[in-house]
Structure 1
Amino acid sequence: MFRFVNGDWKGSALPGASESKGASARSTRADAVRNRQVLLDAAAEVFVASGVDAPIREIAAKAGVGMGTVYRHFPTRADLVVAVYRHQVEACAEAGPALLAAAGSPFTALHRWVGLFVDFLVTKHGLAHAMRSDSGGFEALHAYFLDRLVPVCEELLDRAADAGQIEPGTQAYELMRGIGNLCAGQGDDPRYDPRRLVDLLLQGLRQPKSA
């Protein structure tokens, strides 16, 4: 309750007022987190389809938000590309165990995970250009990428090898680098399909069936 004493208001807020303000603040923060997540998902889809130089308005339209919302979360294109990069690294890292649990076989899980990895490489290959003035930051992100994803790929390969579905001995780093090189070769040539070549690479890992 408030009272007017000596020319000023004294007292405390009405019961429940502070709780209401706290709930409102939490709701605002939750909305901001949701908006950021929606933007990252939309930007990832647009980058896969159109590259990291896609117009910001295309990302805003995909997310169903205004341009101001995009720039409020990500003031520069480099900020957005880096955020999407981290977002996709985490998505790929989390997808490995989930695919192993849900897929019918370890090789199927590996195949599906590689598809996600190929989508991610679109952002990775555009990252160096977006961060051309921050080589140290790029190197740190590359180290983070390796730390998070090489163990996931190793687990997928080991499980497929243990199941007798691929030849044992394939190194995760070598496979990921090979896939990266195949995807980097596309450029602007519409005749080049890196996904088909990546699929051929994976099929080449398969254990020959006994006669």
Structure 2
Amino acid sequence: MRADAKKNYSHVLAVARDVIAEQGAGASMRDIARRAEVGLATLLRHFPTREALFEALVCTDLDALTQKADELETSNSPDEALVSWFHEWLAFAQSHTGVVALMAAAHTNPDSALYASCAAVHSASARLLLRGQAEGTARADMNGDDLFGLMAALGWLVDLPSFAPRAGHLSHLITSAVLTNPSSNDAKKAT
């Protein structure tokens, strides 16, 4: 991709992120193009559908989330890393209404544009769990699929207006169930 095209692509994604945050996943492509100060044809050349645009935004953020897991693996104790991972996941899920449904569908569909990014998040979660299990701070009777399922359930719940205010508490409950001896510091972080 040429440098100017790459700059346009990045700019459109940044503007689209703001518009979608304001208007939701049904935001108008025309409005995004207008606010990005590009023609609709330019926007559609990069993202032929609203879904393609949303997938590009989600993939970028999923990749950043996976990078965060890599940092947590080396910079935190295993139990702190798992608690921090849930906080990162929760922030991601809260900033992307409906993302959990997209991820659940993409997780087992290699043809999905989200598949590789979802697989990376799943793998990162499993690594953090295995590290905790190796140190004896995480339950031994669960695996990466279980952890990913709990994360998906939490993400789905916080999409619901009646549960959104309890997101921190729900995250604390889940991490307390995953960790074998959650410290009081971890409990304070989760609320």
TM-score normalised according to structure 1 size: 0.61
Is this contact kept in 2: 1:96–1:156, CA < 8 A? yes
- How high is the sequence identity, in percent, across the aligned residues? 23
Structure 1 residue corresponding to 2:3, chosen from 23, 30, 34: 30
| Alpha-carbon separation, structure 1, partners of 2:66 and 2:48 | 27
Matches within 5 A, 1:96-175: 96-101=69-74, 103-118=75-90, 119-120=92-93, 122=97, 124-125=99-100, 127=102, 139=109, 140-141=111-112, 143-175=115-147
Match of 1:65 in 2: 36
Structure 1 residue corresponding to 2:150, chosen from 178, 181, 184: 178
Match of 2:63 in 1: 90
Moved over 6 A (4+): none
Is this contact kept in 1: 2:72–2:85, CA < 8 A? yes
RMSD: 3.7
Give ranges in structure 1 of 5+ residues lacking alignment: 1-25, 129-134
Give ranges in structure 2 of 5+ residues lacking alignment: 184-191
Match of 1:6 in 2: none
1:153 CA displacement: 0.9
Quick one: structure 1 residues 154 and 126, their matched pair in 2 at CA, closer, same or farther if it must change by over 3 Å? closer
Match of 1:203 in 2: 176
| Alpha-carbon separation, structure 2, partners of 1:115 and 1:60 | 33
TM-score normalised according to structure 2 size: 0.66
| Aligned partner of residue 36 in structure 2, secondary structure | coil
Structure 2 residue corresponding to 1:189, chosen from 134, 149, 161: 161
State the structure with bigger RCO (CA 8 A, min sep 6), 1 or 2.
2
Is this contact kept in 2: 1:81–1:127, CA < 8 A? no
The superposition leaves residues 31-72 of structure 1 with CA deviations (integer Å, 9 ceiling, x where unpaired) of 3223323443554566567642245577669xx732536445
